[in-house]
Structure 1
Amino acid sequence: MAPTFKILSAAAIITLAAACAKHDNHQSNFQKRQVLTPGGRDEKDWAYPESYDWGSINSNYSLCQMGTQQAPIPLALDQGLSQRHRPDFVGFPSNVTGNFYNWGYGPAYTIAHEDGRFNTLPSMTFDNKTVYLRGWHIHAPADHTVGGVRSRAELHYVMVDSAGHEAAVLALRLDPGQTPSPFFSELPKPLLGFNETDQIMNQTLNPRLPLEAVDFFSEFWTYQGSLTSPPCTEGIRWFLARTILFISHEQMQALLLVSQFSARAEQQVWLHQINA
């Protein structure tokens, strides 16, 4: 939906992090106007094509170089699929409100919530732990390969704990197919480009649609990993759906048009405990 007007005051500017979308540009549920807001993004000192050497750029990124559970890693069908850590999506509603933006590499969305109240967000459980959907963003091409094959893009649902710390990521590979994706049909048109810093606020969508398309992660790989951008924080439970989420050729073209290369170099498997 087209925005109604622009907020031009400095107080309205919301700064977006240039790292893998941090989804901290939320807006209170009590603000209901649909507006387009100047966003702005911090300057970054790293880039995806040089991801092998992030640890040499900044001492704060040392984990990117020496971590034992860095993501992404290559996966394969002959590794089998997980029989443990199965996610349960009973706390996922079919309607949320939030802000669309481009995180500098592709489309992204943050769900509206009150400051500090993450337990009001859509929730899933695994291993008797509850985590909350703070937002999603897209990488192009996909971060993960399966059997050496890389999809054209990858959708990441970023899950946080009750304190707002990243705790898990639901990853869905995206490839072109014959039928439009209902989820991608809900995204604003045209999509915001990678060089645009505006946000489209108070937009609703159904976060269950991608989950339905992959049978709610009935088959998946899982491992202990990290964020895929500096500072490469570890302790993140990764879930990668075996089923690919197919979108139409036109939807894929529109997605790639507003994206920049954002696939981190695959990391060597170490202490990742794949499917364990």
Structure 2
Amino acid sequence: MAGDEPDRTQSGNPVLGAQTISRAFSVLRLFRDRRGDLGVGTIAKELGLNLSTTHRIVRALVAEGYLAQNTDSERYYLGTGALLLGQAAHRNFALDVVYPVLQQLAAVTGESVNLGVLTADAAVVVERIESAEPLRFTQAPGTRVPLHASSMGKALLAFNADAAERTLKGTRRLHRLTAKTHVSTRELRSELDQIRARGWSTDDEESNLGVRCVGAPIRDGAGLARAAIAVQAPSVRVPDERFDELGPEVTRAAKEISALLPPGHSF
């Protein structure tokens, strides 16, 4: 098993060095996605690593401040290094500037709001506002959202030709997530034309049954979208006619965020 191979970074082998770095990032992602402290045994089991390898990685991360140890339980948690890195990313993404707009959109609609950024093959949630409703749909930061089956993803595809080409070129059928997912690239291309014409996108239970969403792109000065926002709600609160109500609200918020970002800012 690859996870049980010894780590010989001192040999100078670049492959092994890259493997160690990759494993360290895997440990940090585990702490990002799991709440609470974690023991070395749990980390090793979750990532398929042996205990000695896991101990070395954890000790190195503690030494650099990215993990810290609870001396009572001997379990580990994210340290100040991770906190400072997150704060720096928060500033670089200008989330402190856009957060009030997301809050206002959530207040006006009464629903959950997400902001996501474009990666190679998905939109990744970086900020969220949860609805106050007891029945709600939310996605935690770090959630990967499919481009072809989400309002956020389709807003990005409609206003980013390179992303659309990467997603659709040479593809005959798209991955089906629910019975309502559009799997035909021809149908999706037609929908993207409609999104460009009106400025906002929809997700009619295409990625999660029982959830309907409306999204809009955050565009730079050239009109290119590398980020998008979406309002998400249980489908029982979004009859067909509410799409037309939510669309302009989401579009207004997305345009406000675009105007607030510093010149040259890129997600």
Give yes or no for TM over 0.5. no
Q: TM-score, normalised by structure 2?
A: 0.26
- Between Structure 1 and Structure 2, whose CA radius of gyration is higher? 2
Q: Which has the higher strand share?
A: 1
Higher relative contact order (CA 8 A, sep 6+): 1
Q: Which has the higher helix share?
A: 2
